[in-house]
Structure 1
Amino acid sequence: MLKRSDEIERREGSFKKLFEQTRTNLTSDMEAKREELTQLQGKLERPSIAFHAHHVADLVLDTTDEIIIFSKSLINEGTGYDTSTGLFTAPVGGLYQFSVHTCVYIGEYAFIGLVLEGKVIAADMNYGNAQYPCSAFAAIARVKSGEKVWVKSTSSGSNRQLFQNSERMITFSGMLVNN
């Protein structure tokens, strides 16, 4: 009887030890899965990043590589666009879409580039051979957090001048498509 009782206690101890190991493993696995789900949830939540700026105070493009500053912002979700410098700084990394719309005076030119960290990624040339013509161009780019995007004059001269009025707005806009 004592022998049997010792055997039962030994088996009970083994079962308790096995149960504790199983409970510890399950708890560890559940914590790892919870952390994994939290990380996935963070990736699924896309921040709202978008801006639409207009109004250029200096319409004369007399300096090559001059940043064109759009001083008014209709929307600036994520506060990435700075109306005082004309620079968009990506608050988060991801795939962005940018667009630029310009107009020129009759008989004038505009050579404009969309720039990502010093490299022109899209460009346009507009010539005013009609009634204040406008043109637009766009680009999609992968932008890292903290990188800057801007619009600049890619060619200067006395006949390089933008035009804007209440019917023809010069604009620069962008938005996060996917992060």
Structure 2
Amino acid sequence: MFQRLVALLFITAVLSEPECSRFHYEEQTLNRMIRQEIAMEKLQADMAATQQQVLDALGKLTETTKQLREEKIKLEHVANVSAEGTNKSVRNFSAAEIEKLKGPTVAFRSKDLVDKTPSAGDTLVFKTTTLNEGLGYDNKSGIFTAPVAGTYTFSVQLYVHPEHNMYYAIIADSVEINKGLFADKAYMKSYTAETVAVLQKDSKVYMKCSSGSGNLLTSDAAWNTFSGVLVHL
């Protein structure tokens, strides 16, 4: 700043000199030097401010990176502890408990009609039970009683005597859930029907001759069957 003061005094002292004199030339040169010096100082100040901003940003980035690394370590620890606890819980289950978690198995399959010439309203009773998981099917009454609530599927296969037919219905809790007609003109053929029902515990399902009368056949190679299975709790 002292140098600038001297320069200004010098400029004042030579103002009376003619413009084309040596002093006028030196005055202009000195003015340019002062402006350049001021511009340089401003540039240095701006660079210093920018450098500080960069350093501050780097500092914040370093701190954020550190925090993220610490959070990652914590999450990995929690995940490992959770997985270890789950594995221990699974290992502590007995075979019976694991089977219980899977849910019950309910399925039945029956054959051999007691009455092959049923009348309208008669329940079809299949006397031979070849599968009865859950003990839901009664081969004395022909009625399946659901041991647990869930979604079940039922299927029937019947062989109709040639030149005869039979109207059938599958009943669940006194409601017809599937019905139709099986008819044979010339040959002994098998006819099948399927249906699905959502049942409550102790719901009753059976099959009946719904109209007229039926005339069915059976042999070692041709079975009349009624079956069902729990598909979802």
1:61 alignment partner in structure 2: 118
Specify the code of the residue in structure 2 equivalent to 1:155.
S
1:11-160 equivalence runs, <5 A: 44-62=101-119, 64-157=120-213, 160=214
Q: Output the CA distance in 1 between the equivalents of 2:99 and 2:163.
A: 52
* Structure-2-length-normalised TM-score: 0.56
Unaligned runs of 5+ in 2: 1-88, 90-97
Counterparts of 2:106 and 2:185, CA distance in 1: 37
The structure with the greater share of residues assigned to helix is 2
1:163 counterpart letter in structure 2: L
Alpha-carbon separation, structure 2, partners of 1:100 and 1:161? 16
**Whole-Å separation in 1 of the counterparts to 2:151 and 2:101:** 14
C-alpha distance in structure 1 between counterparts of 2:207 and 2:195, whole Å: 12
Looking at structure 1, the residues matched to 226 and 185 of structure 2 have their Cα atoms a distance apart, in angstroms, of 23
RMSD: 1.9
- Give the drift of 1:134: 1.4
Aligned-residue offset at 1:80: 0.2
Q: 1:61, CA displacement in angstroms?
A: 2.0
Give the superposition deviation at 1:85: 0.3
Residue 145 (structure 1) shift: 0.3
Determine what percentage of the aligned residue pairs are the same residue: 28
Displacement of 1:124 in angstroms is 2.6
Q: Report the Cα distance in structure 1 between the residues aligned to 2:152 and 2:186, rounded to whole angstroms.
A: 33
- In the TM superposition, what whole-angstrom CA distance separates every residue of 1:56-85 from its partner, at most 9, and x where no partner exists? 0211122x1110001001100000000000
Cα separation, partners in 2 of 1:133 and 1:42, compared to 1, 3 Å: closer
Match of 2:223, as an amino acid? M
Q: Name the structure with the higher strand share.
A: 1
CA contact (8 A) 1:126 1:133 kept: no
| 1:173 and 2:227 are equivalent in the alignment | yes
- Write the distance in 2 (CA, Å) between the matches of 1:156 and 1:92: 34
Residue 170 of structure 1: CA displacement? 0.5
Task: Output the CA distance in 1 between the equivalents of 2:223 and 2:205.
Answer: 20
Shift of 1:133: 1.6
Q: How many residues align?
A: 138
Alpha-carbon distance in 2 for matches of 1:90, 1:173: 13
Task: Quote the Cα distance in structure 2 between the aligned partners of 1:144 and 1:86.
Answer: 19
Do residues 161 (structure 1) and 218 (structure 2) align?
no
* C-alpha separation in 1, matches of 2:109 and 2:99: 26
Q: CA deviation at 1:45?
A: 2.6
Greater C-alpha Rg? 2
Counterpart secondary structure, 2:194: strand
Gaps of 5+ in 1: 1-33, 35-40
Residue identity opposite 1:165 in structure 2: S
Which fold has the larger relative contact order, with Cα–Cα distance below 8 Å and residues 6 or more apart in sequence?
1
